[in-house]
Chain A
Amino acid sequence: MADALYAIQQRFLAAIMGEDADAEALIVDDARVGAARRIGIYRNNYRASLTGVLADHFERLHAYLGDAQFGHIADAYVKAHPSTTRNLRYYGAALPGFIAHHFPEDGELAELARLDWALRHAFDALDASPLDAGAIGMLGEQWVGASLALHPSARLLTMHHNSAALWSALDAGEAPPAVAVLAAPVDVLVWRSGLQPHFRSLAAVEAATLVRIGRGASFADISAHLVNEVEEATAMETLAALLARWLADGVLILADQAAAVT
């Protein structure tokens, strides 16, 4: 008999998630509402809750596209990606890739989606104590050799369009500027400072250095690398400015802390 319940549930869920599957035979029919309309309530709930959560997670992409166009894309995504996550918070992870695949000519759409998703990640990513001047002072001589990591909220995204400017205009409720392809790709750092998600565009040297830190480089490692590339005084001046900014923004943690919390 246990198989019976499993079979009922498989058939009913298929009817909710897809338009084609039929589960009316499982349901008590009636003249007033009817089995088909009754199942339709669940089908509509499913579609509405998933497209609703996509509109919430991809708020600026939604604002950029408008209700109709975003709704069209969200419907197509929900059909192509039945939910396999327990918590709605995590539904939509594949939307940026879905958009990149279906709208290759409109690269700013996938970039806006990636930025929205990275900010959502930053919002409730794992807590970790960021390095500040006091923590570095406590480390003393160990500081320069200590393996570093990025705060668990931090992500680096590469933009080929002026998507960061589009996002900021949409966030401010202003008309977005015209889409433009950048002369050279720019990396954007997304992270959480305190409880607030942020992002900012990076110069190439900062982006490359943060990638190294993400792989566990120490301050000595990144110094040595930069000195190889530019004259030593310039390298030290650049690093001092970057470090001051990272400490103020709460971007860095010690790698052993990252290992402990993951």
Chain B
Amino acid sequence: MPQDQRIAIPSPGFGLGLRPVHYPDFLARPQPVEWLEIISENYMVPGGRPMATLDRIRADYPIVMHGVSLSIGSDEPLDRTYLSALKALADRVDPLWISDHLCWTGINAHNSHDLLPLPYDAPTLQCVVDNIGRVQDYLGRRILIENPSSYVSFRASDRSEWDFLAEMAERADCLLLLDVNNIYVSARNHGFDPLDYLSGLPAGRIQQIHLAGHSDMGDYVIDTHDAAVCDAVWDLYARAIAMVGPVATMIERDDDIPPLAALLSELERARKLAQAALEPVGG
């Protein structure tokens, strides 16, 4: 792992992605999570139940905002309307931090609603670094950029995703959201060693970790967030914590969402693994 200083803030602990199906659980009684992550776009609506519920839950839990349509890698001007709605939501929520993905979601006013991968080359790096700078200036804070999962590699790429992320983070002076499942998924899809990926990132800029499940199609793996975290991803998580130190960790579940208790028990496994990974060797 490259020499680096700790820029990320100390970990606030373990969290979950807040999903509407679990609103009643969070409104009824305190739940054993230190913070919650919202999908920013779900609350970029004028009012009604989403905003009223968010305000109530925010009164009891710190919140982090996770976006899916900033499109930091689109080779066109940033969407000012989106940015202004994002800032308005941040003003209302006062989040611990704000994140989005190393990806593009659309171009020329057309939107894929998917986190599309980028070619990893110098012009794309310049585009992404410039855009992160603009967003950070506009929001008045560092943002976190998450490593994507992907199914294609562009012929134009001339470097690894982790080299791209490392240089991006240093040049843009941003933070990283490490999705351990995405590393696993992309490693399977593109045939690289997940440990090369982990050791290539600037540890001191990793402020959050995502854990999630995927669908194994045999020849390839799809990042579906509809299943429990698999053993290989747990192993990789333990390696990541051992390399990076304590990092805010959460389970991300977007489909086939189980009762909250099932996610809390997965989160308990993350707590125990992290604790074990951080114990001094031989101590």
Where the two chains meet, the residues of A that have a C-beta atom closer than 8 Å to any C-beta of B are 1-2, 4-6, 8-10, 12-13, 16-17, 25-28, 32-33, 35, 37-39, 41-42, 45-46, 49-50, 82-89, 91, 122-127, 152-153, 192, 195
Contacts and interface: CB of A to CB of B under 8 A. Distances in A.
Report, nearest first, the 8 A-B pairs whose CB atoms are least far apart. Answer: A127-B47, A126-B46, A124-B48, A1-B123, A124-B45, A5-B75, A6-B75, A9-B107
B152 interface: yes
Contacts of A84: 109-111
B52 interface: yes
Given A28-B154, A33-B220, A127-B48, A86 B112 contact: no
25 contacts: A2-B75, A2-B127, A4-B123, A5-B119, A10-B108, A13-B116, A17-B110, A26-B154, A27-B152, A27-B155, A32-B219, A35-B152, A41-B151, A42-B116, A83-B106, A83-B111, A84-B109, A86-B82, A87-B69, A123-B48, A124-B47, A124-B51, A126-B47, A127-B47, A152-B46
Nearest to B47: A127
Contact of A45 (B49, B111, B114, B155): B114
Given A26-B154, A33-B219, A41-B222, A12 B116 contact: yes
Contacts, number: 133
Given A6-B76, A38-B220, A126-B47, 4 more contacts: A6-B107, A45-B114, A49-B114, A124-B48
B156 interface: yes
B46 A125 contact: yes
Interface string B32-63: 00000000011011111111100000000000
B153 A27 contact: yes
Contacts of A1: 122-123
B124 interface: yes
Contacts of A37: 220
A2 B125 CA distance: 11
B207 interface: no
Nearest to A10: B107
Give the residue among A1, A13, A195 with the most B Cβ atoms within 10 A.
A13
A9 B75 contact: yes
Most buried by A among B48, B75, B123: B48
Contact of A28 (B82, B155, B219, B222): B155
A42 B114 contact: yes
B134 interface: no
A46 B51 contact: no
Interface of B: 41-42, 44-52, 69, 74-76, 79, 81-82, 104, 106-114, 116, 118-119, 122-124, 127, 151-157, 189, 219-220, 222
A83 B105 CA distance: 11
A84 B106 CA distance: 9
Contacts of A10: 107-108
A153 B155 contact: no
Nearest to B69: A86
Contacts of B119: 5, 8
A101 B76 CA distance: 35
A122 to B, nearest CB: 8
Contacts of A41: 151, 220, 222
B110 to A, nearest CB: 5
Nearest to B118: A5
A178 to B, nearest CB: 34
A4 B81 CA distance: 26
A4 B151 CA distance: 21
Contacts of A87: 41, 44-45, 69
B273 to A, nearest CB: 30
A127 B50 CA distance: 11
A13 B69 contact: no
A88 to B, nearest CB: 5
A165 B80 CA distance: 43
Nearest to A197: B48
Contacts of B47: 124-127, 152
B33 to A, nearest CB: 24
A49 B220 CA distance: 20
Contacts of B124: 5
B48 A42 contact: no
Given A16-B112, A33-B220, A45-B114, A38 B46 contact: no
